[in-house]
Amino acid sequence: MWMKLVILSISAYICTAHLCMLSPPQRTALNDINKAGSDSCILLAGPCGKTKPSMNMLYLVAGQNFTVVFQKNLDHFDSASPGYWSVSIGKESGTLKELFRTADTATPSLTVYSANITIPEQTGKNMVIQTQYVTKNPKAPAAFYQCADVAVIKKAEY
């Protein structure tokens, strides 16, 4: 009986706090994203939630401005220990460079955020733009991840 309760509470806990990345679109499907707690938006392992690179690579030019759009699919704000959102770029296998960070606040589930970034000079194919929701909430998973596949080319090649 206890074991059953523990398992039940673990699964309830796993199914809370979600992050969806809308632009560039996350690797995996964006189904049911108008519903808080969408199964499309729950990836708990860094850096990209153990997803495979997709063939749909978005080409960006070094130095260009780009707006990343993501959604707090399910709220996990803890006023005693506020978390944050961040957007990074780089090779999935390497160190990602953080380009944007903002504090989590008491915004409701389904709130959409936008982040203006400037694409850095590091060029290459098979790179990712990664969004993280770091909850810092002891009752929630530590972080949620989404990645989109991008290639960064030099301005001269454009």
Stretch that binds ligand NAG, among 17-25, 48-56, 57-65, 86-94 (CB under 6 A): 57-65
User: What 3-state DSSP class applies to 12?
Assistant: helix
CA angle 109/112/117 to nearest 5° reads 140
Q: How far is the CB of 155 from ligand NAG (least distance, A)?
A: 9
Nearer CB in complex with ligand NAG: 21/43: 21
Q: How far is the CB of 158 from ligand NAG (least distance, A)?
A: 12
Whether 85 contacts 104, CB under 8 Å:
yes
Contacts of 61 (CB under 8 A, 6+ apart): 119, 152, 153, 154, 155, 158
Q: Which of 64, 102, 107, 111 binds ligand NAG (CB under 6 A)?
A: 64
- Binding of ligand NAG by 102 (CB under 6 A): no
Q: Which of 81, 116, 122, 126 binds ligand NAG (CB under 6 A)?
A: 116
Q: How far is the CB of 97 from ligand NAG (least distance, A)?
A: 17
Q: How far is the CB of 120 from ligand NAG (least distance, A)?
A: 12
Give which of 14, 66, 73, 65 is closest to 44, Cα–Cα: 14
Give which of 55, 34, 35, 52 is closest to 43, Cα–Cα: 52
Q: What single string gives the DSSP state of each residue in 99-112?
A: EEEEE--SPPTTEE
Q: Which of 65, 102, 107, 122 binds ligand NAG (CB under 6 A)?
A: 65
Q: Which of 54, 118, 122, 126 binds ligand NAG (CB under 6 A)?
A: 118
How far apart are alpha carbons 30 and 96 in whole angstroms? 24
Nearer CB in complex with ligand NAG: 31/102: 102
Whether 134 contacts 88, CB under 8 Å:
no
Binding site for ligand NAG (CB under 6 A): 63-65, 67, 116, 118
